[in-house]
Amino acid sequence: KKDEESAILELEHFGTVKDPESSECYPCRILKIIKVEENQIVITIKGNFQKIPGEEEVLKRILEQLYLGVDLPFFFNGDPNKFEWESNQVLFLGEKKSPLLKPFEYTGHHFKAYDESYNLNFEYSLSSQIKANTDSIKICKFPIVAYAFTDEGYKKIYQGMNLLTQFKLKKNFEYEIIININ
């Protein structure tokens, strides 16, 4: 659905999740709703595992050992040396600025990147319908770098950043990612 102010995209998939300890698979339905409005994007991911009598142990292993991972790549045009990031859950002692290109992993529900060259902020807020699940979200950030052949030989070329969010799976789950760009 699209109008002059916003757009909504719904994607639904019925599939299976493989048991990490056997070749058995368990049915799962995932619905992803993407709402875009001005400078904000809201991504809602809902899912549920069907109930199969006699297969409770397979589902238990899946829920205990696997996570839902969501890749959130983005790109800044400015000088990579002027990129910074912060989070409400991370305190950098003794550091004035935290470089964006340095890989980092933490547990939290907030991430904000800043491109000083263009005075551009890119902010993620992650949540779950269950507070305990919000407190267990893992966030990994790392640069996307291509190793390409150029006129000067092979060079590492910065392509962007990736934020990988890992959400705990439940029998029924719903997670929301809010992206603000300003």
- Domains annotated for the chain, with CATH where assigned, are 6-181 (2.70.98.10)
Q: What is the pLDDT of residue 118?
A: 87
**H-helix segments, 97-156:** 131-134
The set of residues, in sequence order, having a beta carbon less than 8 Å from that of 153 and lying 6+ positions away, is: none
Distance CA 121, CA 84 (A): 10
Low-confidence ranges of the chain (pLDDT < 50): none
Q: What is the pLDDT of residue 133?
A: 64
- pLDDT tens for each residue of 58-92: 999 999 999 999 999 988 887 888 888 889 888 76
Distance CA 102, CA 37 (A): 31
Give the global pTM. Answer: 0.85
Q: Which residue has the tokens 């507070």?
A: 131
Q: What is the pLDDT of residue 158?
A: 86
